[in-house]
Structures are given as C-alpha cells and as structure tokens.
Structure 1
C-alpha cells in the first residue's frame, strides 16, 4: 500500500491536484481520505459555539482516530470514515465504508503538522498557491457553498485562518518531498507523482 499525503493552505487547490493525479488511474485502486472528516466531534456544543471553533489549529483534528484508521487500512481492514458537515460544523451520524486499496491519498491543510501521520506517509506533497488567490477561493467557498456570512468569513480569516497558516501550515512545507506550485498546472510534478503510483500499481 502506498500512502500519499497532500497538504497546503486553505484554498490552495489540493482537490484540483488530487484530481489531476488520479485522473488517469484505474477506478477502484485509489481511495481518498479527507482530513476534514476527522475534525473533533463537537456534539456537546451549540451551533453558534461550534462556529467559533478554530478549525485551522492542529488540535481541531482527531489525529488519533486518523492514525488508527490508516493503520487498519495498512493491515487490510476496512474502516468507517466519518462524514463531516460544514453547515453544522460537526460530524454527522453517517460514515463511509472505506476498503483497503493499493493507493491511499490523505489530503488536508494540517496533514504534515502531525509527526505520527508524517511517518505513515510514503510521499508527502505540499501544494503552494498565492495568498490572495487562496483568500478569494476561501471566500467563494465559505459564502457560496457553506452558507457563511461574508463579514464573518473575513473576520475568521484575519483572526484565525491567516495566523494559523503562518504558525502551522506554511512551516509544515519543510517536511514535503514535493512542492507543487498551483498558480498554474504543474505538469512535471503531477506526472512524477502519477509515475510513482503507476509503478506501485504495476502499470
């Protein structure tokens, strides 16, 4: 099993890079695990309190559960991956049955900040994008897709998203094996990653 970690700041285009990597790979050979699924269970808090949570701090992630699930997959066991609701700012009661496969891609802004998770990754990728571009993408996503108020999103960016990026996410770039600039399509970097995966799959 090949485990690939893909990190980078909010709105950097991680999902785009993931899709570019797996676009030409066989269906069923690759599973994607999102860090967002492993936000801590905040059922004990009211929605308004949950909205105030700093979701860009490493302590907001249940890394123990993520580590446990990755270990189970490596040992050939299926897992019940949590499902997260950005509207409710909490895990739902639903889970996704995820089976072991040859390639696991773990993606999320904080993936490279955790030493135990880093040790489990065979390839560590950091997606870099211009800060203004990331802010624009984050605003569009939070307001249009997640129902956040524009002013609340801007305040959150200034008070937690940007400071957390500078404190935790940007420094985690030093652990990356490959840094992919995502201001434009980086064919070479993506092709290198895809080539490693193809070797693993015997293609």
Structure 2
C-alpha cells in the first residue's frame, strides 16, 4: 500500500540501551507522526493460571510473548486502523484489563529484547537494529534499575541474571543479531550511530512519500 508506515525494529539484551536508542530516534523527528511500541506489552495473558504458576514465568523466553497478537495489531496499524494495545500487570503476572488506544502513525518503532526473533514480525520491518552492549554494562544497568525502580534486592537481581537472563540472552537474544541491518554498539551513548539511523529513516520516509506521489500521478 502507498501510505504504509515505516516499521523499525530495535532489539538488544536487557540493559543494552535499546529503549534509549528508540527514544532518541523519536526525538529526531519532532514534526513526524511517530509511535513506539514495546514488546513487553505483549506478554501472554496468564489469568487462567494460579499465582504459583505465574511466578515461574520466564520473561526472557520467546514463548512468554503473545507474538500472534502483536503481529495482528501491527498489521492493523499498517492498514491505518487503530488498535487497543494490551497492558501487562507485573504485580499480578498477567495481562491487565486495561488497554492503550493507538492511532496509526507514519513511523512505528518496535522495541524489545526479542523483537527480531519471529520471522513474521521481521518481514513487516523496513529497518532492523540490534543494540549491542557489553554484558558487564548491561548487568550494572539492570541492577540499578531493578533496585531503584522495582524494589529488588541485589541478591535477587544477581540470582535472576545468572540463572535466567544471561542464559536466555545467549540462547535466544544474541543470535537475533544476525538479522539486523545495523548493529549499534554501546546503546544510547552512540550519538554517531543514532544520527546515521535518523538520516536513513528520513531517506526511507522520503522514498515512500515520493513513490506514493508518483503512484497517485500515474493513476
């Protein structure tokens, strides 16, 4: 379709700086119609499971996500249809009854640890990024975030990182780097890479706009 939005995927491990990269790219387009969607919103609904089962959820595994729903909603946004994005309730380890209404935009940024894992999702993307940050920086950032924002203890964060986060990163997240068009080292601190990405996105938008105008002229 002529007015298909530009779809950008931003992947990377926990604490890599992918959210910062996505936000900084957004700020490069103050006049542009842009939308950011976090993969975390699409964790599976676990309402039918008892709490003790929900507590066992491995949030770093591909099966934790309702990718079918995400693909369905991205498809609707591509067709310029509004959607109701789910909200995840971390306190109860299941999907909330609330939703967030999203209107179609010219640029849609998809951000998440496993956003490049599913081929169907990758096929919807015009540009695929992987934010590649050293593991020591990622664990420090995760440690600070979980202690300051989520009330976790140092021991619990380290235990979760060594038993779940790190092995899942090596098994599932790191391998998706090969699908990226561009790899950004050091996350949001890489100003040059972010500026280059913004330039590339502007080029893609201009090409789509030009192609759309030519199609209208020919018709």
Q: TM-score, normalised by structure 2?
A: 0.86
**Aligned-pair CA distance for 1:91:** 2.0
8 Å Cα contact 2:21/2:187 also seen in 1 = no
**Aligned-pair CA distance for 1:45:** 3.1
**Aligned-pair CA distance for 1:86:** 2.9
Larger Rg computed on CA atoms: 2
1:1-203 counterparts in 2 under 5 A?
1-26=5-30, 29-182=33-186, 185-202=189-206
Q: Secondary structure at the match of 1:143?
A: helix
**Aligned-pair CA distance for 1:192:** 1.9
Query: Would the alpha carbon gap of residues 49 and 150 (structure 1) be closer, same or farther in structure 2, given more than 3 Å must change?
Result: farther
Deviations 1:10-59 (A, max 9, x none): 01011111121111312561100000000001122344432321100000
Q: Give aligned pairs, total.
A: 203
8 Å Cα contact 1:102/1:200 also seen in 2 = no
In structure 2, distance between residues paired with 1:58 and 1:46: 21
In structure 2, distance between residues paired with 1:46 and 1:28: 44
| Unaligned ranges ≥5, structure 1 | none
Query: Would the alpha carbon gap of residues 32 and 198 (structure 1) be closer, same or farther in structure 2, given more than 3 Å must change?
Result: same
8 Å Cα contact 2:6/2:205 also seen in 1 = no
Q: TM-score, normalised by structure 1?
A: 0.92
Tell me which stretches of 4 or more aligned residues in structure 1 moved more than 4 Å: 200-203
Deviations 1:52-100 (A, max 9, x none): 2110000000000000001000011001001123333322111111111
In structure 2, distance between residues paired with 1:27 and 1:48: 47
**Aligned-pair CA distance for 1:200:** 4.4
Alignment RMSD (CA, Å): 1.8
Q: Which is worse superposed, 97-106 or 48-57?
A: 48-57
Deviations 1:129-169 (A, max 9, x none): 11011011112222221233432222211111100000010
Q: Secondary structure at the match of 2:171?
A: helix
In structure 2, distance between residues paired with 1:76 and 1:139: 39
